[in-house]
Amino acid sequence: MDWKPNRHSSIPVYKQIAAHIEQLISNGEYPAGSVLPSERALSKELQVNRSTIVAAFEELRALGIIESLQGKGTIVSKNIWGGTNRRIPNWEKLIETGSFLPNPSMMRTIRKEMYHQDLIDLASGELSPELSASPYFRKILATEDFTYHVGYDHPQGNLNLRQTIAQHLKEYRNISATPSSILVTSGAQQALYLIVQCLLQNGDAVAIEDPSYCYSLPLFKSAGIRSFLLPSDEQGVDPEDIIDLYKKHRIKMVFLNPNFQNPTGSLLHIDRRKRILEISSYYGIPIVEDDPYSLTAFDQTKVPTLKSLDQNGTVLYISSLSKIVASGLRIGWIFGPQKAIERLADAKQQIDFGHSIIPEWVAKQFLSSEDFPIHLQKLRNSLACNRDKIVFSLHDLLGDQVEFFAPDGGIHLWCKVKSEIDEQQLLNESIRRGVVYVPGSIFGTKKGYARFTFGRASEDHIYDAMTRFSEALRHHV
Ligand SMILES: Cc1ncc(COP(=O)(O)O)c(C=O)c1O
């Protein structure tokens, strides 16, 4: 066998061996009834302990692919496909060949660890249960009469909700929208997915911020989109870099998250906003403004969204209730030119036949209730307290070992560790000490950063979390 297991993979070696043998069997290299090499021979050939081969064989035996016969050794089961013509699908191979790429492995590891352990969570980009609006939902469900028909609804989403979103956009974000130019989506995530799938094609070039949430999404790569990076600082990206990328790569679209950006918490400077809109309309490059965070602004000043300044209709505006109401409601939306919205709605219908009416109804009731502004104000106050707590903890525990700025909204703080670190090891050490966050390299090219989400953990746990992180930093090698 030329093949050898990959010792750096997150998949255990015995599983890799079992999958490889299964592949050889399904490829016909070991036909039904043939004898497999002995455990001893395989362990020598693959340079692994015999117990690893035993575990791999056990896995295959449990699946009915091989069996042990006294005096004969291990043979490929005769009834895999022989007499009955049954073939075992090679799932390992199938999952590798799909065109939709999996999440980055570090992200999958973080999620797995969070499900299996009781960790202080500075990794999940969402609100804590205490900050979410669930208590108001209970009130709505208990007091309001649900009268909607539960059938397939309009492909753009329920009209009452779209009317409410249009009013909300006017009142809270200074954006004039009509319900017919709004598409309700399953969060901002689905909005991004639909835009990539319907308005771009394989080989197209786009610009994204570095670092950015979009960088962490394989959905761009899955669609064959080439992403070019716009370096960003505390005031967002430099508009002139967009022109450079346009001239070099003919970028087709720019994806920006200008308000309390994920992961940096930065707010795009107003002059830069205006210049970006000028460039966008001069070169005809659409801007996708991904805006889940503008309403979290701690000081209540209205953040001038790009869309509210857009006089030429070059901005596709995405938002969602995930970061201000509840992420599990899965209500987001896109507002833009009607033709584009209809195209995206047609695709959404093909994917899921439209949004579920129950969360749409809850969202409509809540957004139009008197409780919404009360909730929003409480949320902003609490997030500001959490932000203060994490800033205090970092100063107190790590002093000049770290560098960061305090964001004025959002739920993320972007922190540079000044000493050289091994991101994976520091994460492992932190998890061992009971705290989890997201290493910076997930979001772009910058090394030595960590994204701490202060909206998910309770205020009381933040100092404890940073104590554990600072200990991990001291002990990691
Ligand atoms: C910038 C940005 N866009 C989109 C999303 C997706 O959010 P959702 O689909 O929950 O609305 C997130 C979530 O973290 C985000 O930070």
CATH numbers and ranges of domains, the chain? 13-97 (1.10.10.10), 105-125+374-475 (3.90.1150.10), 146-369 (3.40.640.10)
Angstrom distance (rounded) from CA 86 to CA 83: 8
Alpha-carbon dihedral sign for residues 335, 336, 337, 342: negative
Task: Return the ligand 1 atom nearest residue 412 CA.
Answer: 16
Of 127, 165, 186, 189, the residue with max ligand 1 atoms within 8 A of its CB, to mutate for a pocket test, comes to 189
* Closest Cα to atom 16 of ligand 1: 262
* Closest Cα to atom 13 of ligand 1: 125
29's CB contacts (< 8 A; 6+ apart) are: none
Residues with CB under 6 A from ligand 1: 125, 187-189, 213, 257, 262, 290, 292, 320, 322, 327, 332
Give me ligand 1 centre to Cα 332, in Å: 9
Q: In the prediction, which pLDDT does 414 show?
A: 98
Task: Return the ligand 1 atom nearest residue 192 CA.
Answer: 4
Task: Return the ligand 1 atom nearest residue 327 CA.
Answer: 10
Give me ligand 1 centre to Cα 265, in Å: 13
DSSP 291: -
* Closest Cα to atom 14 of ligand 1: 125
Q: In the prediction, which pLDDT does 116 show?
A: 73
pLDDT tens, residue by residue, 130-146: 999 999 999 999 999 99
**What are the backbone angles phi and psi of residue 450, rounded to the nearest 5°?**
-135, 140
Q: In the prediction, which pLDDT does 185 show?
A: 98
Q: In the prediction, which pLDDT does 311 show?
A: 96
Give me ligand 1 centre to Cα 348, in Å: 18
Do the beta carbons of residue 423 and residue 441 sit within 8 Å? yes
Give me ligand 1 centre to Cα 189, in Å: 6
Q: In the prediction, which pLDDT does 477 show?
A: 61
Give me ligand 1 centre to Cα 294, in Å: 12
Tell if the pTM clears 0.95, that is, is over it: no
pLDDT less than 70: residues of the chain: 1, 80-88, 92, 477
Angstrom distance (rounded) from CA 26 to CA 87: 7
Q: In the prediction, which pLDDT does 124 show?
A: 93
Give me ligand 1 centre to Cα 278, in Å: 26
